[in-house]
C-alpha cells in the first residue's frame, strides 16, 4: 500500500497541541508584563509624590498647600520622631496613596569626633550658628492586588 502526501490526523493534533501551549504561554507572559507595568507606573508616581513632598517641605516649611496637612514639628528630645499622615488620590492610575511625613531629631558625632566636655555629642556648628540635625522622611504607600507597597525618601537638614 502506498502512502499519499499530507498529514495524518495524529500529526495534526500534535501540532495543534504544541501551538496551543505556545499561545497560552505567550498570553500568560503578556498578562505578567502588563501587571508589572502597572506596578512600575504606581511606583514612579509614588516616587514623584515623595519628591514633591520633600521639595515643598524644604521650600515652604509645610505640606499644607499641595498635600493638605501640616508637617510635624521637630521633636525636642534626642532620637525621637514626630509624624503626620495624609492621603493623595492619583485618579489617572486609580490609586489613593497614603502619605506619612516624619521628622527625627538626630544625635551624631561632629566632624573628627568632636564632643563637649561631658563626653556626649554636641549640636553641629554651621556658619557659626548652633544647629540641630534632623532627618525629614516622607513615605508614600499604596495597596495593589492585595499587597502593600511603599516608597520613602529622606533628607537630612538642620533645625535652627
Residue 117 pLDDT > 50, yes or no? Answer: no
In a domain, 2, yes or no: no
Question: Which range has the worst mean pLDDT, 2-6, 44-48, 148-152, 153-157?
Answer: 2-6
Burial status of residue 75 (CB atoms within 10 A of its CB: 0-12, 13-18, 19 or more):
middle
In a domain, 152, yes or no: yes
The residues near 10 (Cβ < 8 Å, ≥ 6 apart) are none
Quote the percentage of the chain above a pLDDT of 90.
20
Number of domains the chain contains: 1
Yes or no: say if 102 and 108 are a contact pair by the CB < 8 Å rule.
no
Owner of C-alpha cell 529622606: 154
The mean predicted confidence, pLDDT, of the chain is 78
- Count CB neighbours of 46 within 10 A: 23
Q: How far apart are CA 76 and CA 30, in angstroms?
A: 53
The residues near 153 (Cβ < 8 Å, ≥ 6 apart) are 47, 50, 51, 53, 54, 137, 138
Residue 109 pLDDT > 60, yes or no? Answer: no
In a domain, 132, yes or no: yes
In a domain, 90, yes or no: yes
Q: What is the mean pLDDT of residues 133-140?
A: 86
Degrees, nearest 5: CA angle 129-77-114: 45
State the cell numbers at 159.
533645625
- The DSSP symbol for 110 reads P
**Over the stretch 50-80, which tens digit does the pLDDT of each residue have?**
998 888 888 887 777 777 777 777 776 666 6
For residues 24 and 82, the model is more confident at 24
In a domain, 134, yes or no: yes
For residues 63 and 19, the model is more confident at 19
**Over the stretch 78-97, which tens digit does the pLDDT of each residue have?**
666 777 778 888 777 788 88
In a domain, 4, yes or no: no
Entry pTM: 0.65
In a domain, 84, yes or no: yes
Highest mean pLDDT among 86-90, 105-109, 136-140: 136-140
For residues 45 and 82, the model is more confident at 45
pLDDT at 17: 95
Domain residues for 112?
9-159
Amino acid at each position: 500500500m502506498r502512502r499519499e502526501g499530507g498529514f495524518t490526523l495524529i500529526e495534526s493534533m500534535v501540532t495543534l497541541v504544541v501551538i496551543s501551549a505556545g499561545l497560552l504561554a505567550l498570553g500568560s507572559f503578556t498578562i505578567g508584563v502588563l501587571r508589572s507595568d502597572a506596578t512600575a507606573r504606581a511606583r514612579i508616581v509614588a516616587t514623584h509624590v515623595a519628591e514633591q513632598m520633600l521639595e515643598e517641605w524644604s521650600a515652604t516649611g509645610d505640606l499644607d498647600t499641595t498635600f493638605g496637612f501640616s508637617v510635624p514639628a521637630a521633636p525636642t528630645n534626642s532620637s525621637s520622631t514626630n509624624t503626620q499622615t495624609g492621603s493623595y488620590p492619583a485618579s489617572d492610575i486609580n490609586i489613593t496613596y497614603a502619605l506619612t511625613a516624619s521628622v527625627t531629631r538626630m544625635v551624631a558625632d561632629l566632624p573628627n569626633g568632636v564632643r563637649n566636655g561631658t563626653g556626649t555629642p554636641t549640636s553641629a556648628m554651621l556658619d557659626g550658628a548652633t544647629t540641630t540635625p534632623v532627618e525629614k522622611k516622607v513615605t508614600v504607600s499604596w495597596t495593589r492586588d492585595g499587597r502593600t507597597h511603599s516608597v520613602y525618601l529622606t533628607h537630612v537638614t538642620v533645625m535652627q
